[in-house]
Structure 1
Amino acid sequence: MCAWNAPLILASGSPRRGELLAEAGIEAIPCPPIIDDGVYTCGSMDVKTWVRTLAVLKAQHILQRNIAFSGTILAADTVCVVDGGIFGQPANVHEAKKMIQQVLNRAHDVCTGWCLLSIEDTRLHCACEVATVTIGAIAEQEIDAYIATGNWRGKAGAYNLSERVSAGWPITCDGDPTSVMGLPMQRLQKELHDIQGKA
């Protein structure tokens, strides 16, 4: 197991990622990277390599800003994969509705690449967790009502797993649900053990 040093800097502005860490009793300092990952394309990279690369890019961006002289940076990137296509965060209501419609009545993979970067010695560890999500049938009216709320904003594939489960959507998840929500906590809690001194 790798030993990582406190403080933990979360290279993300995602409230959900911060909440996942807080629920696990892990304190983190949010510091969103000033990176528009929407301008990058994966090219010939496979999806797992792509999301790991984006996570490393975000962590290195925070490191270069010299906001701290010690500690560990945690970064992550999540995408949905449907028919070989990559769904990131929708740019508008039209994209959001199209994404939701395309994932209904079928299974799709959700890939979260993550990275831990030591500020002191730039030691790096990254990986990708994959979960398979299946969403059943949802009426057009219900989809439109959801899109109208704007809750799809900032979410890969236009949805948040826990929110949609709570809303009664017919969803199953094969894998770590928190990975679908932005941070694979089952894996990260083991990696971050030495930060908080907890198992």
Structure 2
Amino acid sequence: MKEQSLNNLILASSSERRVALLKQINVKPGLILSANIDETPLKKELPKDYSIRMAKSKAEKIQSSKPGYFVLGVDTVVACGRRILPKAENVEQAEKCIHLLSGRRHRVYTSVCLLTPDKSKQHIRTVVTIVKFKCLSEQEIKYYLASEEWKNRAGGCNIQGLAGMFVLFLRGSHSSVIGLPLHETYCLLSSYFNLNLY
């Protein structure tokens, strides 16, 4: 199989965190485009199913306007049990999420979808990571909320920032919790691209 140029890859996300994580494995997409899709969960939709649907929908939306490219769609979901936590858009939402996560385990699902240019293949990987937060005091919650690091973060969490100090343990992929599972993404992309790691 002929190796492709990374100029033929589109990242269907405007997340600076994902761009930085890709750079960590020597990947610089040719284009970075935001998909702007409806991210409302379906009734009774499970967190894993939702993350897969979102990753696929983002990739498909971009590929519909940019045929001929490989497209990488990614979605990260924070869940308590079967409950999908929202991307915190205001301090009230963030406070609800942080109170819910305080002192308990939660799961972070990140799905990666790679579409090939001829639409013949659709590769999907989902990584599940278990995270446990310490019991947070009201003072710690206020301090975190005041930082505004929760803005537009799934479950109001930013573990590479201040929320990192609340993590008692993490079982799974640290990079996946930030927004992109590096091992799985590397494996998917290296099937088609020369990633020049050496």
TM over 0.5: yes
Rounded to whole Å, the distance in 2 between the matches of 1:13 and 1:145 is: 28
Query: Match for 2:173: what amino acid?
Result: D
Rounded to whole Å, the distance in 1 between the matches of 2:195 and 2:147 is: 40
Rounded to whole Å, the distance in 1 between the matches of 2:161 and 2:46 is: 29
Query: Match for 2:182: what amino acid?
Result: M
Deviations 1:40-62 (A, max 9, x none): 22324432122111111111100
Identify the residue that residue 141 of structure 1 maps to in structure 2.
139
Q: Say yes or no: does 1:13 pair with 2:14.
A: yes
Number of paired residues? 192
Deviations 1:101-136 (A, max 9, x none): 111111111111220011233521112110000011
How do residues 158-177 of structure 1 correspond to structure 2 at under 5 angstroms? 158-164=156-162, 168-177=165-174
Relative to the length of structure 1, the TM-score reads 0.87
Deviations 1:134-167 (A, max 9, x none): 011222122112212211012111112221365x
Rounded to whole Å, the distance in 2 between the matches of 1:14 and 1:65 is: 20
Moved more, 153-162 or 40-49: 40-49
SS at match of 2:88: coil
Rounded to whole Å, the distance in 1 between the matches of 2:116 and 2:150 is: 33
Deviations 1:6-45 (A, max 9, x none): 32211011111111101121112210012231xx223244
| 8 Å CA contact retained: 1:4, 1:192 | no
| 8 Å CA contact retained: 1:77, 1:113 | yes
Query: Match for 1:90: what amino acid?
Result: A
Moved more, 83-92 or 172-181: 83-92
Rounded to whole Å, the distance in 2 between the matches of 1:144 and 1:165 is: 12
Choose which of 22, 34, 37 in structure 2 pairs with 1:35. Answer: 37
Following TM superposition, where does structure 1 have runs of at least 4 consecutive aligned residues deviating by more than 6 angstroms? none
Query: Match for 2:181: what amino acid?
Result: P
Choose which of 175, 179, 184 in structure 2 pairs with 1:182. Answer: 179
Rounded to whole Å, the distance in 1 between the matches of 2:129 and 2:167 is: 16
Query: Match for 1:62: what amino acid?
Result: I
The verdict on how the C-alpha distance between 1:176 and 1:99 changes in structure 2, with shifts beyond 3 A counting, is same
Identify the residue that residue 61 of structure 2 maps to in structure 1.
61
Rounded to whole Å, the distance in 2 between the matches of 1:25 and 1:57 is: 26
CA RMSD of superposed structures (Å):
2.0
| 8 Å CA contact retained: 2:110, 2:179 | yes
Moved more, 17-26 or 27-36: 27-36
Identify the residue that residue 48 of structure 1 maps to in structure 2.
48
Moved more, 74-83 or 113-122: 113-122
SS at match of 1:77: strand
Rounded to whole Å, the distance in 1 between the matches of 2:49 and 2:18 is: 21
Query: Match for 1:187: what amino acid?
Result: E
Relative to the length of structure 2, the TM-score reads 0.88
Query: Match for 1:144: what amino acid?
Result: K
